[in-house]
Amino acid sequence: MTTTLAHPIPTPESARARGSRPARRTVSERGLLTVVLAGTAAVLGLWWHDTTILAGLGEWLTSAGRLTGLLGGYAVAVILLLMSRAPWIEHGLGSDRLARWHAMGGRYLLSLLIAHAVLITWGYAITAQTGFLAEASTLLVAVPNVLLATIGLGLLVVVGAISARTVRRRVSYETWYLIHLLTYIAVALSFLHVLSAGADFQTGWAKAAWIALYAAVGAALLWYRWLVPVRDALRHRLRVASVTTEAPGVVSITVAGEGLDRLGAQPGQFFRWRFLTPSGWWQSHPFSLSATPTDTELRITVKDLGDHSRDLQRLRPGTKVIAEGPYGAFTPARRRGHGVLLLAGGIGITPLRTMLEHHAHDTGADTELDAGPVTLLYRANHAEEIILAHELDTLARAEHIEVHYVLGAPGSDTDVLVDHRLRHLIPDLEDRDAFVCGPPRFMDAARDSLLRCGVPARHIHTEQFTF
């Protein structure tokens, strides 16, 4: 069933202050790739500088092992930088692209480090005319910190295994989060091995440069992942103001604070929230804002999907909060054309609700792009799964905004994502930008439907915050 709102339910209007912080400087995906490739070239230059004439298979294998080890160590630094949550990276790439970079980098890293271990051991075994296992045992005992580095590699393999898509879907976020912390232990165990056993770090300038690289990345991690959130928590005095039930298993949590407009949060962005309860203080979870922030309040809407989100249903007013962010590039700034389609599935309505609010008050008078027609399409299996409907109805009063509720199971006769039904509902669909948010299967189906209906891929905007 498709319903177009005609009689919105009146609710009190609330003025929303827009972030006053100036636009942050960001790096583009191409710019970041250029920097990473430049660093890779420098690592290759370091290896070449210390490579002499190679005689025999053993020396060739050992040299290849040195190269994969250097590239693996550099890949560690790159991945840690991607994990630092530096705003100039997060806002430039967006969390979905950043997650893809992180996953791809993890696969490269494990491949390089395993190749390093195998090639070095094999090369030494041929040179010493011993067996592979015998040489491996010798290296573990005789070479400084090789045992620690081997343990570190094992921990990275565990992290990589738990991050595989088929495994990741079967473990809770809490388990995944805890196991990912092993990355830091693995890096610490391996770092001393690189400096003490690495043949390329016998010269002072190479060792100094490597230490400086890791020190800079470590400083970024410490600053953005720990010190900035604590600073902001103290500065803004965040605390839970209220918990409101929106539907069975769904609550809106209003967090009060001071000077929150200085955070510069934009519609569609998210924070990583750490509620300082006995069971939740140690973990942070990403939740999108479900209302445009004011200078005194932030709001999220959370569905019971697991242990942590279930605990949030019972939060008490006054609970202190640490919020990291804002993060993400899933904002109206991505628009390229005239007109907008907001396509929501389930709890994915939360960031799109803030975008709808933005467009309800934005007529294009002070922007480069005219607001154009704005359509929200909200799909759910049953009517009781629709949340924040009264707020959506109120926002639909704006003359250029249209809201549709679509009810029914995926693939059914009422599924608007089947065939070309989207185009029948929205005739000018190919001229619009589509912002899509919801469960993974919904987002895949929505993207396929949009492409099938002629929407250019560059006009389809999604974002997933998966790490």
Same fold for the domain at 233-327 and the one at 333-461?
no
Rounded to whole angstroms, what are the CA distances from 93 to 30, 33, 97, 367?
10, 11, 6, 23
Q: Which pLDDT belongs to residue 179?
A: 81
Residue range 172-199, pLDDT digits in tens: 766 777 788 888 888 888 877 776 655 5
Residue range 211-255, pLDDT digits in tens: 899 999 999 999 988 898 888 888 999 999 999 999 888 999 999
Structure-model confidence comparison of residues 167 and 22, the more confident one: 167
CA atoms within 13 A on the CB side of 328: 26
Please say if the pLDDT value at position 40 is more than 80. yes
For 246, the token pair is 């929106």
This prediction has a pTM of 0.73
CA atoms within 13 A on the CB side of 86: 20
Residue range 330-362, pLDDT digits in tens: 888 888 878 899 999 988 999 999 999 988 876
DSSP for 408-443, written as a single string: S-TTSTT-TTSTTHHHHH-TTGGGSEEEEES-HHHH
- Give the count of beta carbons closer than 10 Å to the beta carbon of residue 132: 13
Residue range 421-451, pLDDT digits in tens: 888 888 888 889 999 999 888 998 999 999 9
CATH class of the domain whose range is 233-327: mainly beta
Residues 6+ apart with CB under 8 A from 432: 337, 338, 339, 340, 341, 372, 373, 375, 426, 455, 459
Q: Which pLDDT belongs to residue 3?
A: 42
Determine the 3-state secondary structure of 264 from DSSP: coil
CATH of 333-461, one of 3.40.190.10, 3.30.450.20, 2.40.30.60, 3.40.50.80: 3.40.50.80
Contact between residue 312 and residue 344 where contact means Cβ atoms under 8 Å apart = no
Q: Which pLDDT belongs to residue 305?
A: 75
Determine the 3-state secondary structure of 270 from DSSP: strand
Q: What is the 3-state secondary structure (H, E, C) of 379-405?
A: EECCHHHCCCHHHHHHHCCCCCEEEEE
For 291, the token pair is 């209302």
Structure-model confidence comparison of residues 177 and 460, the more confident one: 460
169 burial type by CB count under 10 A (0-12 exposed, 13-18 middle, 19+ buried): exposed
Domain boundaries, the chain: 29-202, 233-327, 333-461
